[in-house]
């Protein structure tokens, strides 16, 4: 990265700005630059980054290292318990340091469900009559096209937006207004299980004044979006037991306990109509006056957009999704028995799997304790392992409970100075447009660990389109979103560092 200093640098900067890198409407790109963005991004998308693909992950790290090193970054590949992380540091001598989080891995892709030969061979498409059709580059205005590939939106698009923004600044000779640190997580899709160890070992190197997260899709309106929090996640598996061997349903129904009924009754005692949680004290959160004013300011028309997209009626069209996300949830993922097939048999056991979405007020250990008390209140004996025959003879209701804890919740104040600074930067990059500020996302990110360990605020800049098909077949990112992501980051990195 080349640095400009003194009076000559100011004159030179004015020349660069007059050449069109920044206008009253924000940063602009020429057609040539947009084609370069497309070419570089396709190269990046062509590298497999499935979490368990060790060689592919290393190739991704090599790509980022090769991209960042010529821009003046000191790049290191760290390893914690065999999990690789990318760390890059650009110190321009500023008083303020911004840490930027990138997700570098992706979920596996079932190629048989994709409308292209290979999910890691990016395909350029145009939407015609509501259908995405493959096109050649240059056949239409490039902003109207989308690139389809695994990881395009989650989260190579956001990561590449940063890479090209830095490349653009370097080419123009513009120095970022603050020091930049980048941390690349290669196991986000696996729960970032070694992140706590990383933060313990590398807290000094990762020290910063604030955290910018490049992850997640925009709101349904597809406008520039900042998200100030995320729910945490945990999982739970409950298994209830019947007789030690399968029984003939005609002979023993109504005589020997059926684990299906036991589990259904237990689930119904925990979750009621409209998915209301019936477990005592499970949701202690009460909206403040500030919260209610914020929710009232949001557009309830979002529900119409969701209903149209899902082709399904929603529970409550008077409560905004953002208000729902402010609360914890208990979500049933599925139920199964150990019977090989559905036959005239009573199974020996039935399992139900749940996920818990957590808030800062409801950490996992608290929720698990409340669930355990509730289950015991329903008359179940909770065991550490499968029951013995003697226990089956003594008790009608036997259950085992297995739990895992993932990311923790975080919530940055919606009126934080850092948030206002990001809004200002986005408007510098895109022009004076409205930026949507969301209090939290319904999903989860491993960011709470950073905030707890480093004691800094964290906010996510969400770049991909809301219909990006994240975690599904035909994942994509619209090029307009990609370009606007780059422009937003150019504005953020070149404004004064007063947050």
pLDDT digits (tens, 9 = 90+) for 5-26: 343 333 333 333 333 445 445 6
Q: What is the pLDDT of residue 315?
A: 84
What per-residue confidence (pLDDT) applies to 1? 44
Query: What is the per-residue pLDDT across 182-224, written as a single tens digit (0 to 9) for each?
Result: 999 999 999 898 999 999 999 999 999 999 999 999 988 899 9
Q: Taking Cα atoms as reference points, which of 481, 460, 486, 407 lies closest to residue 232? A: 407
Is the confidence at residue 103, as pLDDT, over 50? Answer: yes
Domains of the chain: 6-230+409-493 (3.40.630.10), 232-285+326-405 (3.30.70.360)
Q: For 441, which DSSP code?
A: B
Tell me the two tokens of residue 129.
């009559």
Strand-by-strand arrangement of the 349-358 sheet:
329-337, 349-358, 232-241, 398-405, 381-383
Q: What is the pTM of this model?
A: 0.87
pLDDT in tens, 438-447: 999 998 989 9
CB neighbour list of residue 319: distance below 8 Å, 6 or more residues apart: none
Give pLDDT tens digits for 136-195. 876 668 899 999 999 999 999 999 999 999 999 999 999 999 999 999 999 999 989 899
Give residue-wise pLDDT tens across range 232-278.
Answer: 999 999 999 999 999 999 999 999 999 999 999 999 999 999 999 99
**DSSP assignment letter at 191:** T
Under 8 Å CB-to-CB from 98, ≥6 apart: which residues? 178, 179, 180, 181, 208, 209, 210, 211, 212, 493, 497
The mean per-residue pLDDT over the stretch 111-116 comes to: 97
User: DSSP string spanning 243-259?
Assistant: -SS-EEHHHHTTTS--H
Alpha-carbon distance of 43 to 41, in angstroms, equals 5
* Residue predicted with more confidence, 474 or 16: 474
Burial class (CB in 10 A: 0-12, 13-18, 19+), 295: middle
- Arithmetic mean of pLDDT over the chain: 91
In this model, does residue 132 exceed pLDDT 60? yes
pLDDT at 45: 98
Alpha helix ranges (H) inside 312-416: 321-325, 364-377, 389-394
Buried b (16+ CB within 10 A) or exposed e, 368-384: bebbbebbeeeebeebe
Distance CA 412, CA 409 (A): 10
Evaluate whether 203 touches 453 at the Cβ level (below 8 Å): yes
- The answer, yes or no, to whether residue 488 has pLDDT greater than 60, is yes
Cβ distance 228 to 423 under 8 Å?
Answer: no
- Give yes or no for a contact between 210 and 457, defined as CB atoms under 8 angstroms apart: yes
Question: Dihedral, CA atoms, 247, 253, 255, 256, nearest 10 degrees?
Answer: 40
């Amino acid at each position: 990265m080349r640095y400009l200093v003194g009076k000559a640098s100011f004159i030179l900067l004015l020349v660069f700005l007059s050449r069109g890198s920044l206008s009253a409407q924000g940063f602009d790109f020429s057609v040539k630059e947009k084609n370069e963005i497309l070419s570089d991004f396709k190269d990046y998308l062509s590298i497999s980054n499935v979490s368990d693909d060790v060689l592919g992950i290393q190739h991704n790290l090599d790509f980022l290292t090769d991209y960042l090193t010529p821009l003046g970054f000191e790049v290191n590949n760290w390893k914690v318990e065999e999990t690789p992380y990318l760390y890059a540091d650009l110190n321009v001598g500023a008083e303020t340091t911004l840490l930027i989080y990138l997700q570098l891995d992706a979920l596996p892709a079932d190629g048989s469900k994709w409308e292209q030969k290979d999910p890691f061979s990016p395909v350029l498409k145009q939407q015609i009559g509501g259908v995405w059709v493959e096109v050649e580059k240059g056949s239409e205005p490039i902003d109207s096209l989308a690139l389809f590939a695994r990881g395009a939106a989650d989260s190579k698009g956001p990561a590449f937006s940063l890479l090209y923004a830095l490349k653009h600044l370097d080419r123009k000779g513009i120095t970022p207004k603050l020091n930049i640190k980048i941390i690349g997580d290669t196991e986000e899709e696996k729960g970032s299980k070694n992140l706590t160890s990383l933060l313990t070992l590398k807290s000094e190197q990762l020290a910063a004044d604030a955290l910018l997260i490049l992850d997640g899709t925009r709101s349904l309106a597809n406008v520039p979006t900042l998200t100030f929090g995320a729910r945490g996640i945990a999982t739970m598996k409950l298994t209830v037991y019947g007789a030690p061997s399968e029984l003939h349903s005609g002979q023993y129904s109504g005589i020997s306990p059926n684990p299906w009924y036991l589990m259904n009754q237990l689930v119904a005692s925990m979750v009621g109509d409209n998915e209301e949680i019936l477990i005592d004290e499970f949701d202690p959160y009460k909206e403040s006056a500030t919260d209610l004013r914020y929710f009232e300011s949001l557009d309830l028309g979002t529900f119409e957009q969701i209903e149209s997209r899902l082709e399904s009626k929603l529970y409550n069209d008077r409560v905004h999704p953002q208000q729902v996300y402010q609360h914890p949830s208990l979500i049933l993922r599925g139920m199964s028995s150990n019977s090989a097939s559905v036959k005239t048999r009573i199974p020996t056991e039935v399992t139900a799997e749940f996920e818990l979405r957590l808030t800062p007020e409801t950490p996992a250990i608290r929720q698990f304790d409340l669930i355990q008390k509730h289950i015991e209140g329903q008359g179940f004996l909770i065991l550490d392992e499968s029951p013995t025959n003697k226990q089956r003879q003594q008790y009608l209701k036997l259950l085992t409970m297995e739990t895992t804890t993932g990311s923790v919740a975080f919530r940055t104040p919606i009126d934080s100075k850092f948030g206002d600074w990001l809004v200002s930067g986005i408007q510098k990059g895109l022009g004076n447009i409205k930026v949507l500020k969301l209090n939290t996302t319904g999903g989860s990110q491993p960011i709470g660990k950073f905030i707890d360990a480093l004691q800094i605020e964290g906010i996510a800049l969400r770049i991909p389109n809301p219909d990006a098909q994240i975690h599904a077949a035909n994942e994509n990112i619209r090029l307009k979103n990609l370009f606007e992501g780059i422009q937003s980051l150019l504005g953020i990195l070149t404004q004064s560092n007063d947050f």
